[in-house]
Chain A
Amino acid sequence: MAVSREGRTPTVAAAREVWPRRRLSWYRFWEGATPYFFVAPVIILICVFIYWPLIYSTYLSFFDWNFVSPTKTYVGWENYTRLIDDPRFARALHGTVIYVLALVPIQVLLPLALALLLWPVRHSRAQSAYRVMLFSPTVIAFSVAAFMWLWIFNPLQGLLNKFLLEGGFERVNWLSDRNTAIWCVIVVSAWKTIGFNLLLYLAALEAVPVDYIEAASLDGANSWQLITSIRWPLITPTFFFVLVTTVISVNDEVFGAINVLTDGGPFESSTNVVYYLYQQGFRFFQIGAASAVSILVFIATILLTWLQFRFVERHVHYG
């Protein structure tokens, strides 16, 4: 690369005086191409590992294949129609609905309440200790979290049942009872995921300009009004972000907990579509069926996200 006497690369204007035309055009080309070099790696990786799989999944969902066979058999919509008749898929759908209905409010609203609760004590010395403690489950692996709870839920030696026995109650087979298994997964998932959203809300509250709050309180607004009319509108973008990302990720997240705690059982009472997909694809090697499920999950996610943008985003105030 040509460097001027001052040790700096000349601008195009300065270069025009110093360089012959050919060099200059190369410099211009290089400068023009640099942004594309900057974005090319991530765009290529995204296309190979995210967008191409979407297309390939769609293709595979019309075939009967078991991973190893050299030939794939075209079966049309059969993979999809078979899902409708599969009672296991129906139970997976049922579980998914319960997980979403239970976990989305927990993950979106509970951290918000916690953040507002923590706010007045944010300057106390204990505050950063609080943050570390409340966030600690979020930084560990979902599976490791599930193992910690597996030990608490253990029917014979687990802490929960020891408590019950000492209190004069009967033991409960938390993970092998079809009424409680799914709630165990929900408890672990809630415990594990509240922290991250709490952090986002705290950051959003911190970004609310102090002037607004001071002006409003000079006008006689009380604490509750400060929350509802100043803080809440200003943190709605974060709320919306949390809502959308939670709805997208909630089904993926519980996979680790399901796999460790219940294996989807008993009688598929704690399974969800992601777990069903995993079993179809990687236990029974029904690649076509697994792909069909993944396409349905994708379409449902797009629809839900679109609905939120359509009906919730209008209440969001972008500062």
Chain B
Amino acid sequence: MASMVTAKPSTGASYGGAVSKILIHVVVLLLCAVTIFPFFWMLSTAFKQPDEVFTASIRWLPTHPTLANFPDAFRYFPVAHWFWNSFFIAAMTTLGKLVISVPAAFAFARLRFRFDKFLFAVVLATMIVPGVVTIVPNYVLVSRLGWINTPWGVIVPSLPHAAFYIFLLRQYIRTLPQELIDAARVDGASTWTMLWQIILPNIKPGIAVVTILSFLSGWNQYLWPLLVLNDLNAKTLAVGMQFFTSNTESAQLWGPMMATATLATLPPLILYALAQKQIISTFVTSGIKG
């Protein structure tokens, strides 16, 4: 580590010479190994036959890989339903959040209107309300509306949790040159036209990032679906997996359970791997400043 501190940076923009860079690679690789190890173990178990899952010694990889755990999982529980519910809830939540966030972000970034600062503060202040504070009254409301056991009971109450996205998009819109907007004004564009023809085409990367982050949080949410979705068929993957452990013969179900966990983790992982460059560059342009 000492070499990392004393070595003269070659470009000035970075620290560390060749030796310390190799050292860094080694350390980071070790950390990566620790981080992805539970994934490895999940996959390894998902493709093992039952007798290999329960061995006295450690069996790192399945000697006779099998796909049987996947159909097994579907046989024990309505995993297909759960998968669809997770997808539907995540997709609808994302769509709804985009529809309410983009115009609001535009208004807060570039439009002047009475109470604009106050209303923006009202939006941002939701970030300091812990989600758990609202669950009791929201449960009462959702059950009065008859939304228990429906996806809408999960989707609608989670829509207002969009402050971070509105903030992100607002910052993104602010990086667009003011001339773009002035020119449109001079051309006689209405505010509504401006949103559609000037703002939207120019913030596609920001929208992509909000879409992905919002889909992930919709796919992964736990406490609220746990309360609202009681029917076995109405549950999402994140919530339904609990049944694999509450079963009396659950000792036998580790293979199917890890197969289900694989299904639950794949969509988010693929989505993220595809979009990670985009996410970080949007965070850079937006500049997170409290």
B290 close to A42 (CB less than 8 A): no
Tell me the nearest residue of chain B to A196, going by C-beta: B213
In the bound complex, what is the Cα–Cα distance between A48 and B159 (angstroms)?
11
Asked if A31 is at the interface (CB within 8 A of a chain B CB), the reply is: yes
Chain A positions within 8 Å of B36 at CB level: 133, 136
Q: Report B190 CB to chain A, min CB distance, Å.
A: 5
Asked if A90 is at the interface (CB within 8 A of a chain B CB), the reply is: no
Q: Report B87 CB to chain A, min CB distance, Å.
A: 13
Chain B positions within 8 Å of A214 at CB level: 12-13
Q: When each residue 151-171 of chain B gets 1 if its CB lies under 8 Å from chain A and 0 otherwise, what string results?
A: 000001101111000100000
Q: When each residue 29-54 of chain A gets 1 if its CB lies under 8 Å from chain B and 0 otherwise, what string results?
A: 01110111111011101101110111
Chain B positions within 8 Å of A149 at CB level: 38
Q: When each residue 153-169 of chain A gets 1 if its CB lies under 8 Å from chain B and 0 otherwise, what string results?
A: 01011010011001000
Q: Report A26 CB to chain B, min CB distance, Å.
A: 12
Asked if A120 is at the interface (CB within 8 A of a chain B CB), the reply is: yes
Given A35-B107, A191-B38, A213-B12: A144 touches B238 (CB 8 Å cut-off): yes
A136 close to B39 (CB less than 8 A): yes
In the bound complex, what is the Cα–Cα distance between A230 and B140 (angstroms)?
51
Given A136-B39, A227-B15: A42 touches B32 (CB 8 Å cut-off): no
Asked if B183 is at the interface (CB within 8 A of a chain A CB), the reply is: no
B134 close to A134 (CB less than 8 A): no
Q: Could you say which of A46, A159, A200, A277 contacts B288, with CB atoms under 8 Å apart?
A: A200
Asked if B258 is at the interface (CB within 8 A of a chain A CB), the reply is: yes
Q: When each residue 179-194 of chain B gets 1 if its CB lies under 8 Å from chain A and 0 otherwise, what string results?
A: 0000001111111110
Q: Could you say which of B130, B190, B242, B279 contacts A31, with CB atoms under 8 Å apart?
A: B190
Q: Report A174 CB to chain B, min CB distance, Å.
A: 14
Given A132-B273, A136-B36: A60 touches B14 (CB 8 Å cut-off): no
In the bound complex, what is the Cα–Cα distance between A287 and B8 (angstroms)?
63
Asked if B214 is at the interface (CB within 8 A of a chain A CB), the reply is: no
Asked if A318 is at the interface (CB within 8 A of a chain B CB), the reply is: yes
Given A46-B122, A128-B277: A31 touches B191 (CB 8 Å cut-off): yes
Chain B positions within 8 Å of A316 at CB level: 290
B188 close to A135 (CB less than 8 A): no
Q: Could you say which of B16, B137, B257, B265 contacts A53, with CB atoms under 8 Å apart?
A: B137
Residues of B within 8 A of A (CB-CB), count: 117
Asked if B283 is at the interface (CB within 8 A of a chain A CB), the reply is: yes
Q: Could you say which of B25, B126, B135 contacts A124, with CB atoms under 8 Å apart?
A: B25
Chain B positions within 8 Å of A74 at CB level: none
Given A46-B126, A223-B4: A37 touches B16 (CB 8 Å cut-off): no
Identify which of A75-83, A98-106, A177-185, A295-303 touches chain B.
Answer: A295-303
Chain A positions within 8 Å of B254 at CB level: 151, 154, 157
Q: When each residue 282-312 of chain A gets 1 if its CB lies under 8 Å from chain B and 0 otherwise, what string results?
A: 1000010011001101100110010000000
Given A133-B32, A237-B289: A297 touches B265 (CB 8 Å cut-off): no
In the bound complex, what is the Cα–Cα distance between A122 and B128 (angstroms)?
33
Q: Report B16 CB to chain A, min CB distance, Å.
A: 4
Asked if B61 is at the interface (CB within 8 A of a chain A CB), the reply is: no
Asked if A244 is at the interface (CB within 8 A of a chain B CB), the reply is: yes
B107 close to A38 (CB less than 8 A): yes
Q: When each residue 167-203 of chain A gets 1 if its CB lies under 8 Å from chain B and 0 otherwise, what string results?
A: 0000000000000000000000001000000011011
Given A50-B134, A274-B132, A297-B132: A45 touches B53 (CB 8 Å cut-off): no
Asked if B41 is at the interface (CB within 8 A of a chain A CB), the reply is: yes
Q: Report A79 CB to chain B, min CB distance, Å.
A: 12
In the bound complex, what is the Cα–Cα distance between A297 and B220 (angstroms)?
23
Chain A positions within 8 Å of B58 at CB level: 159, 162-163, 166
Q: Report B112 CB to chain A, min CB distance, Å.
A: 8
Q: Which of B14, B138, B195 has the most CB of A within 10 A?
A: B14
Q: A143-B239, A200-B288 are in contact. List 4 more A-B contacts (CB 8 A).
A: A31-B191, A136-B36, A256-B222, A274-B132
Residues of B that sit less than 8 Å from A by CB: 4-9, 12-16, 20-21, 24-25, 27-28, 31-32, 35-36, 38-39, 41-42, 45, 53-54, 56-58, 99-101, 103-104, 106-108, 111-113, 116, 119, 122-123, 126-141, 156-157, 159-162, 166, 185-193, 195, 216, 219-223, 226-227, 237-239, 241-242, 244-245, 251, 254, 257-258, 261, 264-265, 268-269, 271-273, 276-277, 279-281, 283-284, 287-290
